A and B are shown apart, each in its own frame.
Chain A
């Protein structure tokens, strides 16, 4: 109870409580519609054989989940989602930290300008970047032309059309697109370290790489764990870049769970949409993400507890 409301007595307090709920109402309404309802109705849809177009729904129990678990294409997309995540997250963490350390140097001029440029891809529309990249990475596109001219390759590489190269290509593009966010995260972590610590260590005769290993790294590790968690969950949900760049191809080589679900729920490629089946695949994967998130979270708090000692 705040002092104000105490002074004004019970009537004012009740009125304030009503106002509080009135102020929360719009948020709660949106929340019920777009966060609560999807969970409840999603669980229901998952038990239906339903196209979403007609009113004819058939209750099928857990049959959708059984079918998802038996579909090799689902497991292919599942594996791809994790391959993608395992490719993108280390790029984001390691290269992001490297650049952040460089930009964090007090004596580096134009640091803000550099940061702006590194961050630029982050603010651009992933779907549009994906489309532009089709041309940039095409067999007759600028990257191949550069590689051919420099003599690095003899034949153009089909970065997105070759099923051996496609996954690597989307990982690199995705790594580039979102690295700026991680640079800013790491910079925030680095700027949390008090200067006195460095000064004291320098006086003690500690230099560059030892300073980094013994002072910087232990201190930023706890936040690094949070950054890793954000990246893991974020990359498992990736859709926009994949959808526009490869649409899951070639031959499902970059098909992620998100594009798999989209195909069954909204695309005409597979005939009549299957809302129930797509939802159950989504729930299956959603549960995976929650488990992976919880595991990384436990790991993160253990790292935090350790470094606090």
Chain B
């Protein structure tokens, strides 16, 4: 009797979860469905998810007429470059902060941690002016630098925590072989930190890919440098009638990141959980 009651409760829980999750992901399913519909079909059947015929018309329109080919390339370039820069800077900083004692270490750590308290809300204005002084507004490099310059302290702490607990013997063997400081880092330490590299890569990819305020502000006068999010926002502004193309643009922008997440989610979820534990 007890067992049957429990089984019933479990079935009910599954039912509730499934019902909630159908509503939960409905907007995405709707978006993907709408991107294959014709404009007329979209407005005739607003609720429906499955198009009458799978037409690639909207994707072609978004991809070449609305410049999503360019935006897609920009998003890829900005995301990949940002990830590379952030991996380099945070792994090296995390390595020395986690493994060495040197004069000024404490101050550096405190200054870096303090950055977590700064609200981007107003720093976007000085950042824009700084890039202007450096003649980097309306360039991809300026956007990449600004994206990489955000508060990466969580990643530095992740690397520092990891490198701290690697046994000293590993290094000592290398020192006897007369390996230099950077060689020890590159040949021995960095390869060991693969799980952290994984977490940082996926988290930073998702952040950069989804970034909106920075690319919006930094590409205001250079439409050809827009990222996908900014491009879709512009498309909506220019043409709020062509919802089928907007749905296609949204699908082009969101599907890659969703797929990346579903395959590599372990790293991401661990990173998010780690950031609240730390």
Contacts and interface: CB of A to CB of B under 8 A. Distances in A.
Interface of A: 1-5, 8, 15-17, 19-21, 23-24, 26-28, 30-31, 33-35, 37-39, 41-42, 45, 52, 102, 105, 107-110, 114-121, 123-129, 131-136, 140-142, 145-146, 176, 181, 184-185, 187-189, 192, 223, 226-227, 230, 233, 236-237, 239-240, 243-244, 257-258, 261-262, 265-266, 275, 278-279, 281-283, 285-286, 289-290, 293
A134 B236 contact: yes
A120 B96 contact: no
Contact of A285 (B119, B230, B272): B119
A224 to B, nearest CB: 10
Given A16-B100, A33-B145, A135-B243, A114 B172 contact: no
A266 B25 contact: no
Contacts of B220: 266
B125 A126 contact: no
B118 A39 contact: yes
A123 B268 contact: yes
A236 B118 CA distance: 12
B149 A30 contact: yes
Nearest to A281: B122
Given A121-B24, A128-B253, A134-B236, A265 B125 contact: yes
A39 to B, nearest CB: 7
Contacts, number: 267
Interface string B91-135: 011011101111101001001100101111111111111100000
A227 B168 contact: no
Main secondary structure of the interface of A (DSSP, over half): helix
Contact of B115 (A35, A41, A102, A135): A35
Nearest to A138: B46
B24 A118 contact: yes
A120 B103 CA distance: 44
Contact of B232 (A128, A192, A227): A128
Given A118-B21, A145-B47, A237 B119 contact: yes
B121 A237 contact: yes
Nearest to A130: B233
A261 B96 contact: no
B273 A283 contact: no
Nearest to A286: B119
Given A120-B258, A266-B220, A125 B101 contact: no
13 contacts: A20-B96, A20-B102, A33-B145, A34-B127, A35-B115, A37-B127, A38-B126, A42-B123, A117-B24, A120-B24, A181-B272, A262-B213, A286-B119
Contact of A123 (B88, B99, B257): B257
Contacts of B229: 125, 127-128, 240
A229 to B, nearest CB: 10
Contact of B250 (A1, A23, A132): A132
B259 to A, nearest CB: 10
Given A125-B254, A126-B212, A39 B236 contact: no
